[in-house]
Chains A and B, each alone.
Chain A
Amino acid sequence: MELSSREYAVGAADDFMLQIGRVVNAGEVELAIFRTSDGAFYAVENHSPHPKGGPLAEGIVSGYYLYDPLHDWKIDLRTGEVQAPDRGQATVHPVTVDGGVVKVSLPEAVARL
């Protein structure tokens, strides 16, 4: 079964500071958007996979990794995977930059939630 998805323009590339997350609500989903030092963009749902939850947008970004601001879990921005010794998965969504506009594509089911 093909899942349809919907694209959200979340802002101009220049609105995002390097290595500092920014919160964007797209549809019903709260996203944390990150711009790594090489200029690439990543979108993670703004909810830590740690059992106690909390936001992710305020974490420290190093390379392609994000350090959870409340629990210091190390999360791969590309896959959402939590790095050992902790375990878990943050939800990530694909991002494209098109003519200076940052776009996140969310599955239709998630966007409506």
Chain B
Amino acid sequence: MTAEREKLVLIGNGMAGVGTIEQILKLGGAYDITVFGSEPHPNYNRIMLSYVLEGSKTIEDIILNDHQWYEDNHITLHTGTTVIRIDENNRQVVTDTGLSVHYDKAIIATGSNSFILPVPGSTKEGVVGFRDIADCDAMLAAAKQYRTAAVIGGGLLGLEAAKGLVNLGMDVTVVHLLEDLMERQLDRTASSMLQAELARQGVKFAMGKQTAELTGEERVTGLRFSDGSELPAEFVVMAVGIKPNVQLAKDSGITVNRGIVVNDYLQTSMADVYSVGECTEHRGTCYGLVAPLFEQGMVLAKHLSGVPTPGYEGSVVATKLKISGVDVFSAGEFTETAEHTVISAKDEWKRTYKKILLKNNIIVGAVLFGDVTESASLQKLVKQATEMTDEIYGEVMGTGCCGGGGAKKGLSVEAMADEEIVCGCNGVTKKAIVDAVTENGFTTVDEIKACTGATRSCGGCKPVVEQILQFVLGDSFQQSAKQGICSCTPLSRDEIVAEITAKGLRTTKEVMHVLDWKQPEGCSKCRPAVNYYLGIIYPETHEDEKESRFVNERMSANIQKDGTYTVVPRMYGGVTTPEDLKRIADVSLKYDVKVVKVTGGQRLDLIGVKKEDVPKVWEELDMPSGYAYAKSLRTVKTCVGSQFCRFGTQDSMEMGAQLERKYERLDMPAKFKMAVNGCPRNCAESCTKDIGIVGNDGGWEVFIGGNGGIKPRIADAFCKVRTDEELVEVCSAVMQYYRETGNYLERTSEWVERMGLEHIQSVILGSDDNRKELAARIDFALAQVSDPWKKMLDDNSTRTALFEQTRV
């Protein structure tokens, strides 16, 4: 027997309402659902409009649920239709198109409108709010036609609008009634830092100005302030606040204060009619931010699905400004009073500011400027009214500047409530993430992203998602280090290498076929990796697979974002000659190279070579490839050394060039950098290289596992040697051991930590035989390599297929 399903009508097709419906669907609530929306679009992410204006996202990108979604979930959607009345007696909603639809339960989620200041002239052409796609379109259009704009309102929305218009090339002045920007979220210090930063980015300010009138005939031409002064503006954005959209509720006889009044279960004064989001007023508060509406929606969804839930108790609101390069955050209380204990740190050089407010040692509020990495942790601490401890203090206040390199330990996510929103952009709770992990066996952030949408939008929540992942997997997070090298296979690197050797597999195709890959031809992660492992196992016979190489390695040049290439010729040890420089200059001129730049590793970048010119550039340079694109030895950086330097004790230029000549072209798990210094002053910065060498009076010191890149790490002292021969042998052994045991794309900094420094030392320094065998194996592999540029020039068909552009 199937019971007739109850009819649920949602009025308002925005984030709050549709978010609630999504939760109801997940909870298995059995309703026939109808949705009414006044806008012509399907449901979109309003908080991302700033990104649309900024140009980093398109409207398509911010659509949350497309028409297909409604269809898939059997939801009847009426766009471009406005509900004008709820008829309580007949239990019907009535629309402006003359439709009447029966409901058993109804949700009002009509959101809010821009508040337009009731000053003379506010209805003139060229005056808009910043609330929906239509406003956003108007702003994009205005920027094409006009030059000067004024944004009234120095709050979150106003500043985002202003920065968006500046990016679009307009001359923009923010007009603000008070002396401090974002005064409802920030204290005076943060506010003035924010103003200075935005001014630096081109936004102008008129502070302490009250707009009295908008001037102009049909179209606005400027603002007149209450003090009589004027500001010309061909376009005006009002961003002074929002007004809950309550007309429907009012007309239907529902109790309305500033917003539609609801209780803790989001019930309005009318039976079976609920309200969520910006149109509602809960315990006297109307919220205009995203987190509260998801929290309200969650309670309502459970209530309507018959799942027991505590009522909604209000939200701790936190603010994050969505302007690239301006990081501001605040949560809870931020204005100091005598009751508060204040912890603060201001750094004018780094332009950062951090303030935490305590009341009776409980964390009640926080403000961050410039560096908001702690925002997620702080928001949680405030929300849970956590007591300040030495441990928390250490974690949030840190020790000052760059923090010593290691990843900062996040605050425990264990205490986080299940219903807490982790991803504010997409309304994903901790529980949704935990469930995704436990039910589907996910082990990566990407899998969680695909399933729940968390981290899909601004990405700010990624660290917390990672922490949750670690927390849920616990010990198995370690075990799952055995997880596959990508989603195509559950096998680890070691297992794949063992299988290749045991079964004598010869090509990536064979490996993937025999080892039962999920995607028969792999993906962009495993194909290059397997190609590399095959090359290490069969140095003599493995035929490198061009089609499994990342573009840069396939083309032997670095692709740039516009599809042109950067060509970098070798300069052994960073040394060149006037003749070579002359040739580089001639070729650069002939092929219209956009920029010639010195690289971080003491070479010359020839940037902006057209794809079809790349082979000719090589040919005419007639220099070896600098491998600036490769997972192999990049450069050996050197100082001047004993040849010229008055402090130099060793000939670093000569040794650098010798090492670079010896090891160039060989495939490695990841890019590999070296440095040689003539004395302990370390001018070539050995401490951040994969192998760093420092000369002293009696010989050389060798350091390994340094990195200056994305995860900086200072190299570990590995050993001291007396002769040049010993130095080369140690370098050979370290490099070959890394080649044989490193995971593809694993830098030595990670490799050293995974294998353990002592282990590597015992393998290489503990046994002369081992060291000599490793060195012999690398020499054998080195005998197989040749310059890719020369090779390509001799191979007509490959060169044509790769580089030539046909016109038909």
Q: Which residues of A are in contact with B by a Cβ distance under 8 Å?
A: 8-11, 15-20, 22-26, 37, 51-52, 54-55, 58-63, 65, 67, 69-70, 72, 74, 84-85, 87-88
Complex: how many Å from CA A97 to CA B60? 35
- The chain A residue sitting closest to B565, CB to CB, is A58
Closest 3 CB pairs of A and B: A67-B524, A19-B547, A58-B551
Contact of A51 with B56 at beta-carbon distance under 8 Å, contacts A17-B801, A23-B805 already known: yes
A10 interface neighbour in B57, B548, B808, Cβ under 8 Å: B808
Q: Does B61 contact A (CB under 8 A)?
A: yes
How many whole Å from B717's CB to the nearest CB in chain A?
37
Contact indicator B806/A70 (Cβ below 8 Å): no
Contact of A63 with B801 at beta-carbon distance under 8 Å, contacts A51-B57, A51-B61, A72-B524 already known: no
B456 proximity list for chain A (CB < 8 A): 85
Contact indicator B523/A69 (Cβ below 8 Å): no
How many whole Å from B446's CB to the nearest CB in chain A?
7
Contact indicator A16/B801 (Cβ below 8 Å): yes
A20 interface neighbour in B527, B559, B802, Cβ under 8 Å: B802
Contact indicator B547/A8 (Cβ below 8 Å): no
B808 interface neighbour in A8, A18, A60, Cβ under 8 Å: A8
A52 proximity list for chain B (CB < 8 A): 561
Q: Does B449 contact A (CB under 8 A)?
A: yes
A72 proximity list for chain B (CB < 8 A): 524
A24 proximity list for chain B (CB < 8 A): 805-808
Complex: how many Å from CA A103 to CA B39? 44
B800 proximity list for chain A (CB < 8 A): 15
A15 proximity list for chain B (CB < 8 A): 800-801
Contact indicator B805/A59 (Cβ below 8 Å): no
Q: Does B475 contact A (CB under 8 A)?
A: no
Q: Does B798 contact A (CB under 8 A)?
A: yes
Complex: how many Å from CA A8 to CA B808? 7
Contact of A59 with B57 at beta-carbon distance under 8 Å, contacts A10-B808, A26-B808 already known: no
Q: Does B550 contact A (CB under 8 A)?
A: yes
A25 proximity list for chain B (CB < 8 A): 805-808
A61 proximity list for chain B (CB < 8 A): 521, 547
Q: Does B563 contact A (CB under 8 A)?
A: yes
Complex: how many Å from CA A105 to CA B481? 48
- The chain A residue sitting closest to B800, CB to CB, is A15
Contact indicator A74/B523 (Cβ below 8 Å): yes
- The chain B residue sitting closest to A103, CB to CB, is B808
- The chain B residue sitting closest to A67, CB to CB, is B524
Contact indicator A54/B563 (Cβ below 8 Å): yes
Q: Does B404 contact A (CB under 8 A)?
A: no
Contact indicator A10/B806 (Cβ below 8 Å): yes
8 other contacts beyond A25-B808, A52-B561, A65-B519, with CB at 8 A cut-off? A10-B806, A11-B808, A17-B801, A20-B546, A20-B801, A23-B805, A60-B528, A62-B519
B550 proximity list for chain A (CB < 8 A): 60, 69
Contact indicator B562/A54 (Cβ below 8 Å): yes
Between A8, A85, A87, the greatest number of chain B beta carbons within 10 A of the residue's beta carbon is seen for A85
Complex: how many Å from CA A11 to CA B555? 21
Between B551, B561, B802, the greatest number of chain A beta carbons within 10 A of the residue's beta carbon is seen for B551
A60 interface neighbour in B61, B524, B802, B805, Cβ under 8 Å: B524
Contact indicator B547/A17 (Cβ below 8 Å): yes
Contact indicator B523/A67 (Cβ below 8 Å): yes
- The chain B residue sitting closest to A46, CB to CB, is B563
A84 proximity list for chain B (CB < 8 A): 450
- The chain B residue sitting closest to A10, CB to CB, is B808
Q: Does B766 contact A (CB under 8 A)?
A: no
Residue-wise interface mask of B (591-614) relative to A, using a CB-CB cutoff of 8 A (1 in contact, 0 not): 000000000000000000001000
B547 proximity list for chain A (CB < 8 A): 17-20, 60-61
Complex: how many Å from CA A55 to CA B800? 18
Contact of A63 with B519 at beta-carbon distance under 8 Å, contacts A8-B808, A25-B806 already known: yes
- The chain B residue sitting closest to A71, CB to CB, is B561
B807 proximity list for chain A (CB < 8 A): 24-25
Q: Does B222 contact A (CB under 8 A)?
A: no
Complex: how many Å from CA A16 to CA B798? 9
B776-808 contacts to A (CB < 8 Å): 798, 800-802, 805-808
A58 interface neighbour in B522, B559, B806, B808, Cβ under 8 Å: B559
Residue-wise interface mask of B (33-66) relative to A, using a CB-CB cutoff of 8 A (1 in contact, 0 not): 0000000000000000000000011101100000
Between A19, A23, A24, A61, the greatest number of chain B beta carbons within 10 A of the residue's beta carbon is seen for A23
Complex: how many Å from CA A11 to CA B806? 8
A22 interface neighbour in B446, B527, B563, B801, Cβ under 8 Å: B801
Contact of A69 with B551 at beta-carbon distance under 8 Å, contacts A15-B801, A60-B527 already known: yes
Contact indicator B520/A63 (Cβ below 8 Å): yes
Q: Does B554 contact A (CB under 8 A)?
A: yes
How many whole Å from A36's CB to the nearest CB in chain B?
9
- The chain A residue sitting closest to B509, CB to CB, is A37
Contact indicator A87/B61 (Cβ below 8 Å): yes
Contact indicator A62/B524 (Cβ below 8 Å): yes
Complex: how many Å from CA A60 to CA B343? 52
Complex: how many Å from CA A23 to CA B519? 26
Complex: how many Å from CA A20 to CA B547? 6
A62 interface neighbour in B58, B61, B523, Cβ under 8 Å: B523
- The chain B residue sitting closest to A56, CB to CB, is B563
> What are 21 residue pairs bridging A and B, where the CB atoms are less than 8 Å apart in the complex?
A10-B808, A15-B800, A15-B801, A17-B798, A17-B801, A19-B521, A19-B547, A20-B546, A20-B801, A24-B808, A25-B805, A25-B806, A37-B509, A51-B58, A55-B563, A59-B551, A63-B519, A69-B551, A72-B524, A74-B524, A88-B60
B442-460 contacts to A (CB < 8 Å): 446, 449-450, 456
B554 proximity list for chain A (CB < 8 A): 20, 58
B802 proximity list for chain A (CB < 8 A): 20, 22
A55 proximity list for chain B (CB < 8 A): 559, 563
